[in-house]
Amino acid sequence: MFLLFVILILFKFGAPDEDCIPNEAEKARCIKKYYDIRKNSLSLDFIQDASIETIFNICAEFRTCAPSIECGEENKEIKVEKMMKFCDVMEYRKNHPFEDCGRKVNDRMSQCYRDWGSPLPESDDPKKTEEILEEFCMSYFGKDNCMETEVTELCGVEGWIVFKKMFLDFNKVSGRCQFD
């Protein structure tokens, strides 16, 4: 009976993975994929399908090797779970083509879109940075939620649903805004 209790506790709270045999070459290859995703995400054009395709393909390789990163000695710089969430966003975006709609929004180049797509101003003052981020989050889809109107007018309700899900999921990865 006691043995059953111990087994259940180990199963519930986790025991070391007996099948985990560190493979340093595989781990190094996977860490390179991790950094390839990060590098490519810096120049990501969320509208262009080709840009998404590139990261999606690297993510597919990363998904298969990610367990090797978690096997053996921990690497605190590598955030496997967060990268997997990012890859989930890329997969969703790939499976919900947005290029035509994105092109329409980009071509219209409305004031709403220009204001919404502007980079956040930078500040060395932590309090000012917090204020900038708070304002950004309060108008995550533009002033008075104007991007909903913009995307719906150009791409329909379905286009807005895809757009909204992509950017809310992207926020979950970035962790910038805390939405209820």
Residues 20-74: tens digit of each pLDDT: 777 889 999 999 999 999 888 877 777 677 888 889 999 999 999 999 888 877 7
Cα angle for residues 143, 145, 149 (degrees, 5° grid): 120
Q: Kindly indicate the confidence band of residue 5, based on its pLDDT and cuts at 50, 70 and 90.
A: very low
Determine contact, residues 71/23, Cβ cutoff 8 Å: yes
| Whole-structure pTM value | 0.64
- Percentage of the residues of the chain whose pLDDT score is greater than 70: 87
**CA dist 116 to 60, 106, 113, 143, 167, Å?**
31, 12, 5, 8, 12
CA–CA distance, 126 with 130 (Å, rounded to integer): 6
Determine contact, residues 44/89, Cβ cutoff 8 Å: no
Determine contact, residues 78/29, Cβ cutoff 8 Å: no
Residue pointed to by tokens 């043995």: 3
Taking each helix axis as running N to C, give the angle between helix 146-174 and helix 80-95, from 0 to 180 degrees, rounded to the nearest 10.
150
Q: What value does the mean pLDDT take over residues 81-92?
A: 86
Q: What is the mean pLDDT of the chain?
A: 80
Non-local CB neighbours of 3 within 8 Å, separated by 6+ positions: none
Supply the pLDDT for residue 18. Answer: 52
Asked whether residue 93 carries a pLDDT value surpassing 50, the answer given is yes
Determine contact, residues 19/41, Cβ cutoff 8 Å: no
**pLDDT tens-place string over residues 8-22:** 333 333 344 456 777
CA–CA distance, 74 with 33 (Å, rounded to integer): 17
Supply the pLDDT for residue 73. Answer: 74
Grouping H, G, I as helix, E, B as strand and the rest as coil, residue 139 is coil
Asked whether residue 2 carries a pLDDT value surpassing 60, the answer given is no
Q: Kindly indicate the confidence band of residue 118, based on its pLDDT and cuts at 50, 70 and 90.
A: low
